[in-house]
Structure formats: C-alpha cells, structure tokens
Homo-oligomer: A and B are copies of this chain.
Amino acid sequence: MALNKLPYRGTRDFFPKDKRVRDYLFAVMTKTAESFGYESYDGPLLEEVELYKAKSGEELINEQIYSFTDRGERFVAIRPEMTPTLARMVAQVHRESSKPLRWFSIPNLMRYEKPQRGRVREHWQLNCDVFGSPGRLGEVEILQVAVELFQAYGASSSHFEILLNDRAIADAVFKTIMKATGEQTHRLYKIVDKAKKVSEEALQKMVGEVGLDSNAQDIFYSYLQLSTFDDVKIFLEKNNQAEISSQFDSFIEFTKKANITEFLKYDPTIVRGLDYYTGIVFEIYDKHPDNRRALCGGGAYANLLQIFNEDPLPGVGFGLGDVTLRDFLEVHNLLPNFDIPVNDILLTFQEEDGLEATIKLAQFLRKNNLKVVTGLEALKIKKVFPTAEKKGVKFVTLMGSDELAKNQIQLKNLASKEQHTLDLNDLESILKLIKA
C-alpha cells in the first residue's frame, strides 16, 4: 500500500513559496527586534514536563501538550510555548548579565489543537522579552516593539489596535474595592476572561454564583463598562485608588512620549487568564471585520524565576504566532507576493557542448554573490523564457552554435530587453553588465 503523501494532521508542509512567506515574516521580526538591540536565543525542542507543570495552566498540561516518556524514563514534552524555556535560560545567566536583558526567539511549538482557521498543531511564534528594566519602561518598550513590528509589515492603526489592561487595576478592583476573597477573585478573573464571549444573561448568571453582595456586583459591572484611560482614572479615584491610578497614569504618560497612544485602547476584559502576569496585559486585535481576533498577547510578570528559587526579576514580553500573523496580513492585503523565487541569472546553452563554459561562468558569477540557475542540458530557445520566468531571474544567457564557436554568449536583460554579445574570456565585462 502506498504511503500517505500529506503531512501529519494540523501541521504544514512548507513548499518553497510558503517557505518564502515564512522567511519574510521571520526576517521582518528579526530586523525589528534587532533594531531595538534584542538578541536572538533558542532552546531545545523538548523540555521535562515538570517545567510546564510549574508554570502553565492545567488545560495545557492535561489536554494540549505533546508529552511522552523517553527511553530513559524521563517524562518530556515538545515545547508548547517558549516562556518556560526562556525562564529556565534566564535563570542560568541573569545574575552576571547587564540589565535590561533584551531577548527574542522564533521557535516552532506544538499543541494538540483541533485544527481550524488560525489554529494548527505546529506553529512558529516570535517571543520578545525584556528583563530588569526600570519602572514601567520595559512595558512601554515591549509595546513599541510590537507596534513597530506591525508597522514594518505595512500595518497602521486602521488595521490593528492594542487592547490593554493592568493586572494591578483588576486586582485593586476585585480585592480592595469589591472586597472579594482570594477564591472569589480567582473566579472573577475567569469570568472577566469570558465576558466578551458570553451573553449578558450568562454573564449575570456567572457573577451571581460568585456570592458577592449587590454593591460589589454593581462595582464589577461598572468596571466592565470602562473603555477609556480617562474612564479608568475617574473610576479608580472615585473609589479611593489614587495610588494605583497614578502608577497607571505614569505608564500612560510614557506611551505618549513613545508615540504609541493612538494604538492603545483600555479593555477591562483583558486579563490573560490566570497567568503569571502582574503588570500590564495586552492583546493585539485585528480590526478587520472578517478577522476580529487576537493576533498577539503579552504582559508584564514579576516572578517568572521563582520556580528556580531565583530572586525576582521583573520582565515583560509578548508572543506572536505565524499563522494568525499571516491571516492578518492576507485579510488586509499586506502580504507581498512570493509565488516566484528571486534569482539573478539563468544560464542556458542550446548545444550540448556549451555545458563546460556554462559551469565555469556559473562558478565565477556565484563567487561574485549572484544567485545563478544553470541549465544542466541543452535548452531550446522557446523554453528559455518560460523557465526564466519561473525562476524569477533578471538576466538570461544563451549559447548557440555561433556563440559556441566564438566562445561567446548572448546576455539578455529581461526588464530592458537589451541584449549583448559578450566574450567568455572577458568575465568582468559580463559581471559589470549584470551588476549595473
């Protein structure tokens, strides 16, 4: 029986044209991160499951992780996310590193998902993180990186927005203003996380089950109504949270200095699950009506190194997956066309004896940093130009019996249609015309 030619469920084959798209996505990520002085790192594909248990939510460990026992009885998993690996690596070196530590990575990750639009089992994810930055400046910088990244793809505030909250605000509202217990706060976070996805009725039912008094419930519903930074300020001050309000204010002031305020929108429902975040939390949302979804999420955390018994080191970061990013760029027509490769020149010969000269010319041109596609057998003239088109070259050479006899080639510029007869003993002249 013949084997299946299709990839494993939920994974992708990257044929050259798909790989060129991915290479473009990654090149822009790398260029943007490096423009901020972020340094690239990577970790192993497998980690011990203990590491994920210590950091991640239950759903991930129980249902979504690719875990198995290795031949040496270690319980390991294919990395479903990069943050635990990052934390493990930072824990090794943070004491002797100068701060802030700015790192990025674009690992492949696997989760056992039910494949659907924007969701696959293997994806790549840009992770940008900054550790040990003073005050709220790391938070501002990470938002700047995200904004400049989207701008580098050609996107603007008409295409995306950053929905943002601060865990310190949510905590103050639930614990201090509403006087919720730890258990109630835990449940409120879960409810907030779902607030936009459920009906008004379902929301009220969930809130009713938390066991809050009617005053606390009223505060909770007014919190959910907040939709601007001014709203938040007024709400917090009215409820005697001037300290929290002024801390958030100073963060907002910095975002103004960094010119990113136009992208930011306060959203009380952004809390990023029951995750390890302690400062800002945010999600970048696509504004396109056909693709209303989060493209990217991140936030600030204080205790990522705790599981390694290391002193706290504040950090802030975000993750952006390749699948959602590609969907975003496609829906907004921002993705360049990568159907055809980019090469410099196609060398052809129309008589078998042209091979030797072609091999030598190709070698010379490659040494001069050109991308050279060589025909390996005689190619009929009528096939030369369709081949040149498929290979995305700017020049072609031809070598028929006349040229062969005189040790010459015809060099054709496909854009200008100019054609030159050139001597193969004068390689420099050929190069000059190509590089002109």
Contact = CB atoms under 8 A, between A and B. Distances in A.
Interface in A7-31: 7-9, 11-16, 19-20, 22-23
Contacts of A35: 366, 369-372
Copies in the complex: 2
Contacts of A343: 34, 37
A307 B5 CA distance: 10
Q: Which among A35, A54, A70, A91 has the greatest number of chain B C-beta atoms within 10 A?
A: A35
A3 B356 CA distance: 62
Given A15-B89, A100-B376, A369-B35, A5 B308 contact: yes
Chain A interface, DSSP helix/strand/loop, else mixed: mixed
A307 B1 CA distance: 8
A91 to B, nearest CB: 5
A376 B374 CA distance: 52
Contacts of A363: 144, 258-259
A13 to B, nearest CB: 5
Interface of A: 2-9, 11-16, 19-20, 22-23, 34-37, 39-48, 50-51, 54, 63, 66, 68, 70-72, 74, 76, 78, 85, 88-89, 91-93, 98, 100, 102-103, 108, 110, 112, 122, 133-135, 137-138, 141, 144, 148, 257-259, 307-309, 341, 343, 355-356, 359-360, 363, 366, 369-374, 376-377, 387, 390-391
Given A5-B308, A135-B377, 8 more contacts: A2-B307, A3-B50, A3-B51, A13-B42, A15-B93, A35-B370, A100-B376, A102-B373
